């Protein structure tokens, strides 16, 4: 029912849009008081920069005619010219899709920003984000969503962006954090957990739009993934909090919030492939593994501060593997999990897709960050860092009690 | 005149205020401070990373009294603030060379 | 139009989902700084616990084959197995409904949490919430929404959960607060009224999804209740603030926020049964009566801290009675109010339904709380309470100014 | 597809509703700590007062039978009586439209409230808002949305309320601020920028509902304006931040947030008339001009504190002029911009519409404010102002750290 | 040297700061405190329940001056802080046994 | 006994605490304060309007020491707090007429 599809997609768009301030508040609440605004601006600015990129050449690179399976034709949709013909009767049309895809691209870049908290020049972030979306997200988007090689040659499963969105941003964050080096003072607590929860509120609501919107309309699939998205978020909480309880003695609010996001990241590639029990198991696994993965950065010695690597990178991988392990044959995706007797070949395809995505994002981000660091310098001065990025980059402070 | 400064547990601050009021001392100034002492702090854990919080919230009470009232007031503050547990705090007193009430400009004990 | 129904219900789901963080922030803002996170976690955790209960046996108890009108067959929908058949063309289907019902159940439990603010062990809350949803909400749900005795034998009117959701949680909160006993320090102000407003924002938006979603699709009824829900929330503000103005000399932000919620609670059972003027009168009445009822707890000597009893219990009762008093015969419910010459019999049915719901919830909650208190102890130690539940239960503090 | 239209409009309603707390938080965060709650209450109260006005006589004045092109018949829809007939099959019906229009009216009044921050008696605000909506918004609404003279005789273009909503409120705010006189202490910073961002989150999401809801259903137009609304908000950021960067040396969070709103205000009259590149240019222009216009008040010597004049008044004018300048002939509005060879006559019509709206709002607001000031006194006492409006008007404080 | 401590109304703090600066005293330290005194607090009402807030926000200003400047500075602070209404605050002075500037380690009046 | 009051840069507070602890002085009280001095403030710009923020955040450390420890402690605090840049702060000391530990009521040096 094309008109009904339009009705749902418009609503989905509205709630996905609020994921941007949602992510900004989620990360901003976790940052220290002196870096909260800068964190929020890095996230929000992606809507501006990526919009421009998309309208100029970005959409072309993702879905334009494929050039050897590597990138789409950048000039394919220059200026979004000539996409405005009214099809006569309501159906989801180009102007909408183009807008929707901008959100997917921008949210990916916004996740990467979390790695830069408290130490990156704002101007450098703007340049980096322009380059990163162009050289990392857009090609990956072509491979996964467009006519690129992964889609053509790998029979992997990724429902709504576990690879190009979550793994890419998680790995990008890790590489960026590595190049930036640790903050001078890594002993910082979230400055406002209520703000973190406000962020989670917007993210979870938005995720329904994201996952059920990927269904492309008001159909059975959209309803199916609504159920799995709810359940995985819910049990993500349990998984993360359980690990905390066992390891640290107490379940925390930050843990609960992180667990929700971990469960949601995990279900993103798998929402159409697991049943209710599968979604719960997946959420539990994603929450628990991410809780564990959050501690790796200390061992790696990389100040990947807000754990995009663990939450989005590892969370996305866990979700992708879960659908391979216990996919439900009666689901819309129709994938029979290996544990239920399914074919092992999908595991290989999945691992190849994960490997290609992570490897590309990791290496490419590293190169971009290194080159930009040489060219323009990524890091703010020690003085600026000490004063806090809010003051030094934006001449502002988040709160004024007077 | 003397200035008595008491660092007390936050939940004893009201008792101290009331004890002082009962003794006819109706003015005081209170500051939120952080104390470090024999009392241990606490640990908070964020995503598996532990943050050691060494300081405990305390209330600082500053009250100016006439010389003659020093000892009585000290006793009274200590009695009101005491719970008998570590972290109850410290009280100290200094000599003042001058006191004034801003509203009237009165000086010395008249200013209390 | 089944496909259009799907489109609206998906959107309704997304906005109802945000009621959970909404309620968490509403209550968390009203709590003291040292108990805010614990309050939020008690609310949010209901999504996790109730999801598990629902998938395992909860949905069966509510809508499974009735066992003597008392409960549905718990094993009726075990694991949500076999509910995934695509009907071929878009219509609101089982996976969606199951997910939607989880939200109704969980929000009811989350309201009860407000009674426990500042003094209940978090582990005890988790156990209590599991038992409460099973023994109080699920049977009530069966009576009211499933094939239970109330629905079969009482000709009462309850549009969207005035009984099983609001009265049950209000009475549950009262009984739990009674068993827990008062906090050691009851002199606490809301620590952040802006946070309370953020909560109201999410709740009011969500309520449109809740009430117009109960219409089951994109139909006239959904539009009708959108109007009455808007008006009752708006005049709920007026009712509450007027009482405050007369009684205390000033209208307050907390009063305005509480009035909105009171009006919304009031309209929940009545949204399809009153016209615009009726909805305004109902909102006014609910706001004013709830403002008055908030002061009862002091007289009762029960530290039912965040007034779920007044707002949801009494608010729900007022709304139910209003539809009986001035229901509009031309409304979708077609109830002629007594004041307009309607039949008195509906009043008796309504009172019976209110009495049964409130009585059951009150007694059952009391028993559950008493038994659990004996078995595992509900209350945190005095020391923990003094340090604040955030620190003692979760080793966290809401804010860090440094 | 009428049923699909219902589905989208219900969702649009839910997200537009959250614009009220959104605006409250946007303004409340910009206010000082001592005036934040009062600011929020002024905004939120408009839902209550305007609802009452609308049900009693407001809707009649806007869309009732025109009395000489000046106002509609106030008694046309008294009590919303007789509007409840179910059309049999789902289509967007009166109860819905009436509710939706209330939101448009109330948000306009809420924007005006920003001018009164920190110095207006709350009771006086309530009276003022009742009079203002009646004498300014309702007639303007009739002229623009109903059968009034502007619509009949001026061939101007205004997609979703650039005139009656944004210019009217911007000019109203300016006149009210002028009559009120400056605050005693104008040296105040936003007390919480994260709160400002929370407000922007709700506003941007709501704006999708506002603009795409103005399309009246799930159609091509709704999708078209979704794209332009996204792009103009995004480049609004750029425009504002660029001016800040050049002028003050740094881009700020408040600037980014203001730029989003400026872009959204600008696109409101033009969303159906520009293409993607046009929307981006429009957003850029609106953001930049508004950033500049924010500094005018200092020169004017009017303490129009939260810049409703600049953001909504000037922003709305810029947007209206942009569609005249570079409207896209292939757009749903089909307006050929002057720069692309379009007819100059539309510029005259547009300027006349802008002039009429701004002139009427400015003069009428001035008169209302002056008269009320004589009759009841608008301004709180100096003492009250110094203590802060939260304490003096509502006996409340926003935060309690204890 | 002497330490002058003034508890003043928040809205007079700027005047005091400016008066001191005008007199050539360019350093001072300010603390947000809560005062209790002759001045009454205020009541806040939440859902019908009244909360009595006894304390009023005040600003504490600490300024170290040379012995010779004590009296002049006291007069100046009192004059700048005065509104003539209850709640204007208190000022007191103590004798210091030592003062140092951290940056240079200078001691005594040279450190001011 | 003497009371040492140090106004230091926030990022040196930990160093001072650790230096004191290393010297066997395990109790101190910390207050967040705002300092005004030779060090300039900063400007913030909101929608084109500039707000001058004159005060800089500082940490005030109050520590009571035995008379004999005064000089050593002063040196130690100054050394730990110093960065050599403007804004490093001030330290001063006053004589106390009495000190007490609330928990036990002990007086004088025994109370430290
Ligand atoms: N030497 C000191 N100088 C200043 N303040 C002190 C000193 N010793 C203790 N305090 C303050 O007193 C509080 C309680 O001290 P603590 O040693 O924990 O308990 P107790 O005095 O009961 O042994 C500390 O948190 C600190 O604020
Ligand atoms: N004895 C005192 N010791 C310490 N501070 C005091 C004392 N008396 C008053 N103050 C401070 O001075 C402030 C103003 O005092 P108050 O008695 O209200 O006014 P006034 O001095 O004009 O009579 C109080 O809020 C308190 O902070
Ligand atoms: N006379 C004074 N009285 C009280 N505090 C002072 C005085 N002078 C300076 N301070 C405090 O010391 C801090 C640092 O002083 P400043 O003059 O900026 O640096 P420096 O001492 O290195 O010249 C100030 O911010 C203020 O808090």
**Concatenated DSSP letters of A58-126:** IHHHHHSPEETTTEE-GGGGGGGTT-----SS----HHHHHHHHHHHHHHHHHHHHGGGTTTB-HHHHH
Q: What share of chain F is helix, strand, coil (3-state, %, to 5)?
A: 30, 45, 25
Distance in Å, CA A176 to ligand 3 centroid: 40
The Cα-based distances of D153 to C393, D63, D161, D320 in angstroms read 68, 17, 18, 18
Distance in Å, CA B61 to ligand 2 centroid: 12
Which-ligand-closest: CA of B27? 2
Residue F107 C-alpha, separation from nearest chain E C-alpha, in angstroms:
22
Distance CA C272, CA C282 (A): 13
Residue pair D390/D37 in contact by the 8 Å Cβ criterion? yes
Give the pLDDT of residue A340. Answer: 95
Query: CB distance from A335 to chain D under 8 Å?
Result: no
> What residues form DSSP beta bridges with F65?
F2
Burial (Cβ within 10 Å: 0-12, 13-18, ≥19) of residue F86: exposed
Enumerate the residues of chain E whose CB falls inside 8 A of the CB of residue F33: 29-31
Distance in Å, CA B12 to ligand 2 centroid: 20
* Residue (of A281, D396, A170) closest to C249 by Cα position: D396
Average pLDDT over residues F36-62: 86
Enumerate the residues of chain A whose CB falls inside 8 A of the CB of residue B49: 294-295, 298
Residue E49 has pLDDT above 90, yes or no: no
pLDDT band at residue D402, thresholds of 50, 70 and 90?
low
Average pLDDT over residues D333-350: 94
Q: Percent of chain F having pLDDT more than 70?
A: 100
Tokens 């996952």 locate to A211
Distance CA D287, CA A358 (A): 38
Average pLDDT over residues B94-101: 95
Burial (Cβ within 10 Å: 0-12, 13-18, ≥19) of residue D374: exposed
Enumerate the residues of chain A whose CB falls inside 8 A of the CB of residue C47: 230, 233-234, 237
Residue pair C22/A201 in contact by the 8 Å Cβ criterion? yes
SS3 F92: strand
Radius of gyration over alpha carbons of chain B, in Å? Answer: 17
Distance in Å, CA F58 to ligand 3 centroid: 10
Helix segments in C187-219, DSSP class H: 193-214
Give the pLDDT of residue C402. Answer: 60
Please list every protein residue whose CB sits less than 6 Å from any atom of ligand 3.
Answer: E 27-29, 62-64, 101, 103, 112; F 7, 35-39, 56, 58, 86-90
Give the pLDDT of residue D188. Answer: 81
Distance in Å, CA B8 to ligand 2 centroid: 20
Give the pLDDT of residue E42. Answer: 82
The Cα-based distances of A360 to A157, A167, A213, A366, F45 in angstroms read 18, 10, 27, 10, 41
Residue of B nearest to C397 (CA): B44
Where is A36: in which H helix or E strand?
helix A36-53
One-character DSSP codes across E5-56: EEEE-GGGHHHHHHHHHHTT---EEEEEEEEESSS--EEEEETTEEEEE--E
Give the pLDDT of residue D185. Answer: 83
Residue D267 C-alpha, separation from nearest chain A C-alpha, in angstroms:
15
Cβ neighbours, 10 Å, residue F68: 11
Which-ligand-closest: CA of E69? 3
Report which DSSP code applies to F37: S
Residues 6+ apart with CB under 8 A from C302: C174, C177, C178, C182
Query: CB distance from F103 to chain E under 8 Å?
Result: no
Give the pLDDT of residue C298. Answer: 87
Burial (Cβ within 10 Å: 0-12, 13-18, ≥19) of residue D348: middle
Residue pair D129/D41 in contact by the 8 Å Cβ criterion? no
One-character DSSP codes across D348-394: HHHHHHHHHHHHHHHHHHHHHHHHHHHHT--BPPHHHHHH-HHHHHH
Ordered structural domains, chain F, with CATH = 2-111 (3.30.70.120)
Distance CA C204, CA C8 (A): 17
Enumerate the residues of chain A whose CB falls inside 8 A of the CB of residue C87: 220
Query: CB distance from A223 to chain C under 8 Å?
Result: yes
Query: CB distance from C326 to chain D under 8 Å?
Result: no
Residue pair C227/C276 in contact by the 8 Å Cβ criterion? yes
Distance in Å, CA E29 to ligand 3 centroid: 7
Report which DSSP code applies to C192: B
Enumerate the residues of chain C whose CB falls inside 8 A of the CB of residue B43: 395
Interface D-F: count of C-beta contacts within 8 A: 29
Give the pLDDT of residue A283. Answer: 98
Ligand 3 atom 3: the closest Cα is on which residue? Answer: E63
End-to-end CA distance of chain E: 9
Q: Percent of chain B having pLDDT more than 70?
A: 100
- Whether residue D332 and residue A7 make contact (CB cut-off 8 A), yes or no, is no
Residues 6+ apart with CB under 8 A from C332: C220, C221, C224, C272, C273, D86
One-character DSSP codes across D35-96: THHHHHHHHHHHHHHHHHHIIIIIHHHHHSPEETTTEE-GGGGGGGTT-----SS----HHH
Those residues of chain A that have pLDDT short of 70 are 402
Residue E48 C-alpha, separation from nearest chain F C-alpha, in angstroms:
35
Residue pair F36/F107 in contact by the 8 Å Cβ criterion? no
Enumerate the residues of chain D whose CB falls inside 8 A of the CB of residue A95: 220, 223-224, 226-227, 276
* Residue (of C159, C131, C134) closest to C145 by Cα position: C159
Average pLDDT over residues D76-104: 95
Which-ligand-closest: CA of E24? 3
Residue B110 C-alpha, separation from nearest chain F C-alpha, in angstroms:
22
Residue positions counted in chain A: 402
For residue F3 and ligand 1, the question of a CB distance below 6 A is answered with no
> Could you give the dihedral angle defined by the CA atoms of residues D294, D296, D298 and D304, in that order, rounded to the nearest 10 degrees?
-60
Report which DSSP code applies to B67: G
Tokens 């897709």 locate to A353
* Residue (of D395, D400, D330, D402) closest to D41 by Cα position: D395
pLDDT in tens, chain C (402 residues): 799 999 999 999 999 999 999 999 999 999 999 999 999 999 999 999 999 999 999 999 999 999 999 999 999 999 999 899 999 999 999 999 999 999 999 999 999 999 999 999 999 999 999 999 999 999 999 999 998 999 999 999 999 999 999 999 999 999 999 999 999 987 788 999 999 999 999 999 999 999 999 999 999 999 999 999 999 999 999 999 999 999 999 999 999 999 999 999 999 999 999 999 999 999 999 999 999 999 999 898 999 999 999 999 999 999 999 999 999 999 999 999 999 999 999 999 999 999 999 999 999 999 999 999 999 999 999 989 988 999 999 999 999 876
Closest atom, ligand 1, to C-alpha of B39: 18
Query: CB distance from A338 to chain F under 8 Å?
Result: no
Ligand 1 atom 9: the closest Cα is on which residue? Answer: F27
Distance CA D303, CA C136 (A): 57
Distance CA C207, CA C234 (A): 13
Kindly list the partner chains of chain A, i.e. chains with 3 or more CB atom pairs below 8 Å.
B, C, D, F
pTM: 0.96
Residue positions counted in chain E: 112
- Whether residue B37 and residue F28 make contact (CB cut-off 8 A), yes or no, is yes
Residue A295 C-alpha, separation from nearest chain B C-alpha, in angstroms:
6
Average pLDDT over residues D345-355: 96
Return the half-sphere exposure (C-beta side, CA atoms, 13 A cut-off) of residue A6. Answer: 31
How do residues B2-57 score in pLDDT, each as one tens digit? Answer: 999 999 998 899 899 999 999 998 899 999 999 998 877 788 888 888 888 888 88
Which-ligand-closest: CA of F7? 3
SS3 D189: coil
Residue D97 has pLDDT above 70, yes or no: yes
> Could you give the dihedral angle defined by the CA atoms of residues C357, C358, C362 and C364, in that order, rounded to the nearest 10 degrees?
-10
Enumerate the residues of chain B whose CB falls inside 8 A of the CB of residue A258: 47
Give the pLDDT of residue A402. Answer: 60
Which tokens go with E7? 């508890």
Enumerate the residues of chain C whose CB falls inside 8 A of the CB of residue A192: 398-400
Residue positions counted in chain D: 402
Residue positions counted in chain C: 402
Residues 6+ apart with CB under 8 A from F61: F4, F5, F6, F8, F13, F16, F17, F28, F29, F30, F77
Ligand 3 atom 13: the closest Cα is on which residue? Answer: F89
How do residues D31-47 score in pLDDT, each as one tens digit? Answer: 999 999 999 999 999 99
Q: Percent of chain A having pLDDT more than 90?
A: 95
Interface A-B: count of C-beta contacts within 8 A: 29
Q: How much is the mean pLDDT over chain B?
A: 91
Enumerate the residues of chain F whose CB falls inside 8 A of the CB of residue E3: 92, 94
Q: Percent of chain F having pLDDT more than 90?
A: 64
Query: CB distance from E59 to chain B under 8 Å?
Result: no
Residue of C nearest to D86 (CA): C220
Q: How much is the mean pLDDT over chain E?
A: 91
| Chain C interface test: which of B17, B32, B42 (most C C-beta within 10 Å) | B42
Distance in Å, CA B99 to ligand 1 centroid: 27
Residue A272 gets the label, from left (phi > 0), alpha (psi -120 to 50) or beta, of alpha
pLDDT band at residue F69, thresholds of 50, 70 and 90?
very high
Closest atom, ligand 1, to C-alpha of F65: 1
Give the pLDDT of residue C225. Answer: 98
- Whether residue D235 and residue A48 make contact (CB cut-off 8 A), yes or no, is yes
- Whether residue D298 and residue F44 make contact (CB cut-off 8 A), yes or no, is no
How do residues C30-89 score in pLDDT, each as one tens digit? Answer: 999 999 999 999 999 999 999 999 999 999 999 999 999 999 999 999 999 989 999 999
Give the pLDDT of residue F112. Answer: 85
Ligand 2 atom 8: the closest Cα is on which residue? Answer: B27
H helix and E strand count, chain D: 19, 2
Residue pair C278/C326 in contact by the 8 Å Cβ criterion? yes
For residue B41 and ligand 1, the question of a CB distance below 6 A is answered with no
Closest atom, ligand 2, to C-alpha of B63: 3
The Cα-based distances of B84 to A292, A337, B60, F105 in angstroms read 42, 63, 18, 10
Closest atom, ligand 3, to C-alpha of E29: 27
> What residues form DSSP beta bridges with E96?
F94
How do residues A355-400 score in pLDDT, each as one tens digit? Answer: 999 999 999 999 999 999 999 999 999 989 988 999 999 999 999 8
Residue pair D113/D42 in contact by the 8 Å Cβ criterion? yes
Which-ligand-closest: CA of E89? 2
Closest atom, ligand 1, to C-alpha of F112: 1
- Whether residue B100 and residue E86 make contact (CB cut-off 8 A), yes or no, is no
Tokens 């020491």 locate to F65
Residue positions counted in chain B: 112
How do residues F53-67 score in pLDDT, each as one tens digit? Answer: 888 889 999 999 999
Longest dimension (CA), chain A: 65
């Amino acid at each position: 029912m094309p008109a009904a599809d339009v009705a749902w997609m418009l609503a989905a768009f509205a709630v996905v849009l609020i994921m941007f301030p949602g992510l900004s508040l989620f990360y901003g609440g976790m940052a220290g008081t002196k870096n909260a605004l800068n964190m929020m601006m890095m996230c929000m600015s992606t809507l501006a920069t990526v919009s421009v990129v998309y309208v100029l050449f970005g959409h072309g690179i993702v879905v334009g005619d494929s050039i050897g399976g590597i990138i789409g034709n950048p000039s394919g949709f220059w200026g979004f010219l000539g996409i405005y013909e009214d099809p006569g009767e309501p159906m989801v049309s180009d102007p909408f899709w183009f807008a929707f895809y901008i959100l997917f691209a921008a949210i990916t870049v916004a996740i990467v920003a979390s790695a830069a908290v408290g130490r990156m020049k704002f101007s450098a972030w703007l340049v980096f984000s322009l380059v990163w979306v162009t050289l990392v997200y857009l090609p990956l988007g072509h491979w996964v969503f467009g006519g690129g090689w992964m889609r053509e040659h790998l029979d992997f499963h990724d429902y709504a962006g576990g690879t190009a969105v979550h793994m890419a941003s998680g790995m990008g964050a890790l590489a960026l954090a590595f190049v930036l080096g640790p903050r001078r003072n890594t002993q910082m607590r979230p400055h406002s957990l209520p703000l973190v929860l406000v962020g989670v509120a917007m993210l979870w609501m938005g995720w329904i739009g994201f996952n059920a919107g990927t269904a492309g309309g008001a159909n059975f699939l959209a309803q199916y993934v609504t159920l799995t998205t709810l359940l995985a978020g819910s049990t993500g909480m349990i998984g993360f909090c359980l690990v905390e309880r066992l390891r640290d003695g107490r379940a925390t609010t930050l843990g609960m919030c992180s667990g929700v996001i971990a469960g949601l990241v995990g279900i993103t590639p798998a929402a159409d492939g697991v049943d209710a029990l599968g979604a719960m198991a997946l959420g539990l696994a994603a929450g628990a593994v991410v809780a564990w993965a959050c501690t790796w950065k200390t061992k790696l010695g990389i100040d990947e501060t807000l754990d995009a690597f663990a939450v989005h990178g590892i969370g996305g991988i866990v979700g992708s593997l879960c659908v391979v392990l216990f996919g439900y044959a009666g689901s819309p995706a129709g994938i029979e999990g290996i544990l239920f007797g399914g074919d092992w070949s999908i595991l290989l395809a999945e691992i190849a897709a994960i490997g290609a995505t992570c490897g590309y994002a990791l290496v490419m981000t590293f190169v971009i960050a290194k080159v930009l660091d040489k060219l323009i310098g990524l890091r703010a001065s020690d003085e600026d860092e000490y004063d806090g990025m809010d003051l030094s980059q934006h001449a502002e402070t988040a709160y004024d009690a007077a | 005149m003397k200035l008595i400064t008491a660092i007390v547990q936050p939940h004893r601050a009201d008792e101290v205020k009331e004890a002082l009021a009962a003794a006819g001392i109706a003015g005081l100034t209170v500051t939120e401070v952080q104390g470090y002492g024999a009392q241990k702090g606490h640990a908070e854990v964020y995503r598996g990373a532990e943050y050691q919080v060494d300081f405990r919230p305390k209330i600082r009470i500053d009250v100016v009294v006439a010389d003659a009232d020093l000892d009585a007031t000290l006793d009274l503050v200590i009695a009101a603030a005491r719970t008998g547990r570590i972290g109850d705090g410290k009280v100290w007193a200094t000599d003042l060379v001058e006191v004034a009430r801003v509203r009237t400009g009165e000086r010395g004990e008249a200013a209390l």
